[in-house]
Structure 1
Amino acid sequence: MIFDRLADGIQNHAKAIVVVWAIILCFAGYFAIQAGDVMSYDVNDMAPTDSESIIGIQVISEHFPTSTVNETATPIIVVYFENESESAAAIQFLDDLNEAAKDVEGLTGVAHMDPMVSSQGDGIVLGYMMTDYGEDVYVSTKTPELREFIAEVKEATGFTGDTYLTGTPAISYDMEHNALEDVSKIDPFTVLMILLLVGLFFRSFVTSAVPPMTIGVAFVATMAVIFGLGHIMNIFFITNMMILVSMMGAGCDYCIFIIARYREELRSGRDHHDALHEAIVWAGESITISGASVIIGFGALTICKYSMISTMGICLALGILIALIAALTLIPAILQLVGDRIFWPTRMDAYKEGGKATKGWYAWFGRLGDRYFHRSAEFSIKHAKAIAIVAI
């Protein structure tokens, strides 16, 4: 069997495998850090070029001055007014912005439309900021500077009306900024919950740290590959968040399967070599099929015309593939080198009759789980036809 040969190869070359992954981590780290620089932050790049919305923006761009970087990237200022006198003040403010813009690098002026008035007498005036930042600059990255510039002109002129900087660049910036804020909360929470859950399951904080660290190495390798892919396709910044969460969820699951099977084989009386061999063969086969299914699922997204979804499918499938390879090689190699010390401070003797793992809260939860799954199995077997009918 292929997994028998895989097990033999890993057990015979465990040190070399760990060294290879360490080299990959060091080499990939440099490129992974720069992966964000090649990702797209322009929402216009997400939709197909033949979509009505993109064509509409291109038509608008023919009638209003735009950036030399992207003809669809026009910052828009929305100035709200409540009555006719405020309408005149809003127009004057946009004229003041136009004059002030001439002294700001990258801005060439502000053009505005006639006021749009509602039946209640209030309305808005739209101003279009003409930019010239150069070919290598995304206008969206200048959003904070543009908002600061608008605030300074408001303070200098005494204008007190409500203003909003919007348009494609501002929307892209706000999406990126909010997404990165979410990532800063989601990623630590994900890792913390994995550490807690795995630590409770194995009664070991050492064991709980191994799966996230392994997938962390795989994540760095994935981001390095994405750095290369970013030069030939549009990969959107939100992909970064999706990759880490999906890799942590699926990848840690694969790692836990192997470690748990290794522990069960040790508890059944096998020695270290045979226990690890069986874990690689049987758990390895299961997680490979599971991983292949996930890869196919994400890979199916590549047929979408919506480029954000299609490129995300490629990256997610790639991330799961690398996580699967790490789980199949790095985890067994670590187990080969450290043995049952990976379960420290818990010793395998704790699982024997009368051991610590057979007493107290851990044993109580274990018995609760055994009863639940035992009864679930009996119920499923006894009512198999009824369950199948309900499921259909």
Structure 2
Amino acid sequence: MFSGLGRLVVRRPWWVIVAWVIAGTAVISLAPKLTSTSDEASFLPSRYESIKASDLQEKQFPQQQNVGAIIVFQRADRARLTAADSADVRKVADRLARQKIPQVQDVSAAPVAPNKQVQTAIVAMPKLNNPDDTAQQDAVQKIRDDLPSALRGTDLTAGVTGSAAQALDERESADRAGVLVAVGTIVIIVVLLLVIFRSPLIALLPVVLIGLIAPLATGLIASANELFDMKTDSSIRELLTVVLFGVGTDYILFLLFRYREALRAGEDAKSGMVHAVERVGEAIASAAGAVIVAFAALALSTLGMLKSMGPALAIAVFVTLLAGLTLVPAVVSLLGTRIFWPSRSWRAEPSGAGFARFGALLARRPAVWALASAVFMGALTAGALGYRANFDLAGSSLPKSKESMVAQRDMERGFPAGTTDPSSVYLDATDGRPLDRAAVTALQKRLRAVDGVGSVDPATLSKDRRTAAYEVVLTDPPASDDALDTVRTGLRPAADEAAPAGTRALVGGTTAVYVDINKAVDRDYAVVFPVAALCIMIILGLLLRSLVAPWYLLLSVALGFGATLGATSLLFQQIGSQPGLMFMLPVIMYLFVVALGTDYNILMVSRLREEAREGREPRDAAGTAVRHSGPTIAAAGVILAGTFATLMLAGNATLSQMGFALSFGIAVAAFVMAMIFTPALTALIGHTAWWPGHGDRGRPSPRTPAATTAPHSPADPPAHPPQDPPGP
């Protein structure tokens, strides 16, 4: 199959290129815009209590004002506020309210804090239904621009925080992050490819080709989102950049290394590319298949952000796979050996290469190398025991110097930390009768008695008097573990117990959303992980025709996952003192490390099988496979880890955690799992590794030159350099 594909592409390269241009133009011109959201509540299904509470609020209290932003006032000298200062706060609030800023329903001064340190003004805004609407963020920017003149002549300073203010700061941070990630990714790919191949054409090849197919992949993802009514997480753009460029560069490297190997063995440029596609095509397709099914498994997630992220990344990898097997060979076949210009190192393999020496060491003592790599990964896995989930995607992703973060810290000098985002409790009559006043008051008293509750405002009744709404301010920050515990073990049980017969109690708000997300993630761990693992094992079994190898290959990937989670927890929680890791990081990390890590395992084990089919014994096959596939895996691992590491340039705690975890996981997958653990364990298991298909049995293919698999010695004469055929 792949031999035929290679011949077709090499014989008709211009047809392939034109087909890609036509397909790309059609998709890009017809696809809708790719939209995203950072509203965690929009990702939960309707069966969760926090979503039921939100729906009830929209039905019974449509006129209820939403706290879009909070202006935090304090004296410039940090002294206690005076009566005159409070009067100035009211004047500023009234002035802003009279300006009729779009999306601002009202600006009203709140009472001064009990300790007189700060005072706030509440900026009421309508509930935001369209996550792509930036009108409220623009309103916050207008308030920030007007505050200096409004405060002139007073002793006050002020800052704006709250959900709309955080969204504005996050948008500005994300725009910067996107530019840094894109530039950093391209620079890393170009520099590393220049170092590896010493060819500017190869260095620019991934940047140009993947840069051209990226809009095509984005258009397909946007179309799928619109077709299936999916919402995309706000971090998807940065992830798409590194996935497309990182994975795409990997597949280009797999192909180019095998192409160069065929040229060194004496094949001409055209037949060498056909040989490369034939030999590495199955490994690339299987590796991409593992990544695609792992990403697609996220469609089983409860959370909308993961449900949409998985198919989006799967589409991106599928497009990259098609380009790697068709567009890349077509372009390279047109260039021939000129692709390596000005370097001539492609003509002969360097003698005494480091990977040849390492392969020989591993072949002599596979048990030592297998044990050492397992101990290394196992020791780091112990660090995963300290993992804590952090649900504050907006707050934790912002630099501490952003105005919304500074103003929030200032406000906490005088008010409970939960003031910025109160929880909501609703008492709703299910029997159709109006609520009893005594029951409404009794519930308020019961809620006030819950540990972790700072205050409970008197209930607001709906027009039909069948629903009562309570605003509950927690003493802890809305996304903290303590706040989540208050809602999970205090507020919800207390509300349920106090609700009289014929009524129901619902707890909503951001903290309740985080509690439900936590529950949903636990469910996803139990479903998505096993399904992804099973699919990858099936792919490995079909590729290797073995029931044995997939088990220890997946074991190696599981150790790599544990080591990555442990190292990330140690770095960010123990050393960096962060409250926890992004709650969905283990899911993303599992899929990236397992799926992309399996890429390298597949490439290595495919070469192990190929060497065994050539008649080599297990240890000799392991050493030779490391010698030939080691440079490819090392180069691909360094580049992919480097592209993921660019996420750390964003100045964003969430993306920094993701960048470190994924880059570290890829490095472990390439240099520990695929380079050491897999070949060493395969050498120890021997022929049994290929049972029952015995994929190690076979005769040398008549198309395979002897120089491809026979070890070179320093005394070997270099292969005769093939000449390009005339013309392209």
Change (3 A) 1:377 1:204: farther
Comparing 298-307 and 121-130, the one that deviates more: 121-130
Q: What is the Cα deviation at residue 29 of structure 1?
A: 4.1
Match of 2:273 among 243, 260, 276: 276
Q: 2:81 maps to which residue?
A: 83
Change (3 A) 1:63 1:224: closer
Tell me the alpha carbon deviations over residues 353-378 of structure 1, each in whole angstroms, 9 at most, x when there is no partner. Answer: xxxx85xxxx8xx8344434443444
Q: Alpha carbon RMSD of aligned pairs, Å?
A: 3.2
Match of 1:144 among 116, 138, 161: 138
Q: 2:353 maps to which residue?
A: 367
What amino acid maps onto 2:143 in structure 1?
F
Aligned counterparts of 1:251 and 1:15: Cα–Cα separation in 2: 21
Aligned counterparts of 1:196 and 1:239: Cα–Cα separation in 2: 25
Match of 1:35 among 17, 33, 36: 33
Q: 1:164 maps to which residue?
A: 159
Q: How does 1:25-104 map to 2 (within 5 A)?
A: 25-30=24-29, 35-36=33-34, 38-40=35-37, 42-51=39-48, 62=61, 65-66=64-65, 74-81=67-74, 82-85=80-83, 86-101=85-100, 104=101
What amino acid maps onto 1:6 in structure 2?
L
Aligned counterparts of 2:56 and 2:89: Cα–Cα separation in 1: 27
Q: 2:431 maps to which residue?
A: none
Partner SS, residue 119 of structure 2: strand
Aligned counterparts of 2:138 and 2:165: Cα–Cα separation in 1: 9
Aligned counterparts of 1:385 and 1:196: Cα–Cα separation in 2: 33
Change (3 A) 1:373 1:192: farther
Comparing 148-157 and 10-19, the one that deviates more: 148-157
Change (3 A) 1:197 1:50: same
Tell me the alpha carbon deviations over residues 310-369 of structure 1, each in whole angstroms, 9 at most, x when there is no partner. Answer: 211111111111111110111111122221111112246x634xxxx85xxxx8xx8344
Paired residues of 2:90 and 2:108 also in contact (CA < 8 A): no
Q: What stretches of structure 1 of length at least 5 have no aligned partner?
A: 67-71
Q: 1:345 maps to which residue?
A: 342
Match of 2:111 among 112, 115, 128: 115
Change (3 A) 1:262 1:234: same
Tell me how many residue pairs correspond in the alignment.
366
Q: 2:368 maps to which residue?
A: 383
Aligned counterparts of 1:22 and 1:323: Cα–Cα separation in 2: 15
Change (3 A) 1:235 1:266: same
Q: What is the Cα deviation at residue 304 of structure 1?
A: 2.2
Partner SS, residue 39 of structure 1: coil
Paired residues of 1:48 and 1:306 also in contact (CA < 8 A): yes
Q: How does 1:216-235 map to 2 (within 5 A)?
A: 216-231=211-226, 232-235=229-232
Q: 1:69 maps to which residue?
A: none
Q: 1:334 maps to which residue?
A: 331
Q: What is the Cα deviation at residue 382 of structure 1?
A: 5.0
What amino acid maps onto 2:339 in structure 1?
I
Q: 1:292 maps to which residue?
A: 289
What amino acid maps onto 1:192 in structure 2?
V
Tell me the alpha carbon deviations over residues 63-118 of structure 1, each in whole angstroms, 9 at most, x when there is no partner. Answer: 8644xxxxx6x4222323442423343233222222222xx444443345x42524
Partner SS, residue 383 of structure 1: helix
What amino acid maps onto 1:80 in structure 2?
F
Change (3 A) 1:161 1:48: farther
Tell me the alpha carbon deviations over residues 118-152 of structure 1, each in whole angstroms, 9 at most, x when there is no partner. Answer: 4x33243241334599x879553442343323542
Which has the larger helix fraction? 1
Q: 2:185 maps to which residue?
A: 190
2:235 is the counterpart of 1:250: no
Q: What stretches of structure 2 of length at least 5 have no aligned partner?
A: 75-79, 379-554, 556-728
Aligned counterparts of 1:49 and 1:165: Cα–Cα separation in 2: 32
The percent identity for this pair of structures is: 23
Q: 1:11 maps to which residue?
A: 10
Partner SS, residue 78 of structure 1: strand
Change (3 A) 1:51 1:320: same
Aligned counterparts of 2:374 and 2:141: Cα–Cα separation in 1: 60
Q: How does 1:166-181 map to 2 (within 5 A)?
A: 166-181=161-176
Q: What is the Cα deviation at residue 228 of structure 1?
A: 1.5
Change (3 A) 1:122 1:48: farther
Tell me the alpha carbon deviations over residues 289-314 of structure 1, each in whole angstroms, 9 at most, x when there is no partner. Answer: 11111112222222222222221111
Change (3 A) 1:126 1:145: closer
Q: What is the Cα deviation at residue 203 of structure 1?
A: 1.8
What amino acid maps onto 1:206 in structure 2?
L
What amino acid maps onto 2:161 in structure 1?
T
Aligned counterparts of 1:156 and 1:18: Cα–Cα separation in 2: 61
Q: How does 1:293-332 map to 2 (within 5 A)?
A: 293-332=290-329
Partner SS, residue 117 of structure 1: coil
Q: What is the Cα deviation at residue 190 of structure 1?
A: 1.0
Change (3 A) 1:170 1:48: farther
Q: 1:262 maps to which residue?
A: 259
Aligned counterparts of 1:383 and 1:220: Cα–Cα separation in 2: 47
What amino acid maps onto 2:269 in structure 1?
H
Aligned counterparts of 2:125 and 2:294: Cα–Cα separation in 1: 44
Partner SS, residue 75 of structure 1: strand
Aligned counterparts of 1:60 and 1:150: Cα–Cα separation in 2: 30
2:233 is the counterpart of 1:236: yes
Aligned counterparts of 1:162 and 1:54: Cα–Cα separation in 2: 37
Tell me the alpha carbon deviations over residues 223-266 of structure 1, each in whole angstroms, 9 at most, x when there is no partner. Answer: 11123234332123321111111121111101111011011100
Partner SS, residue 353 of structure 2: helix
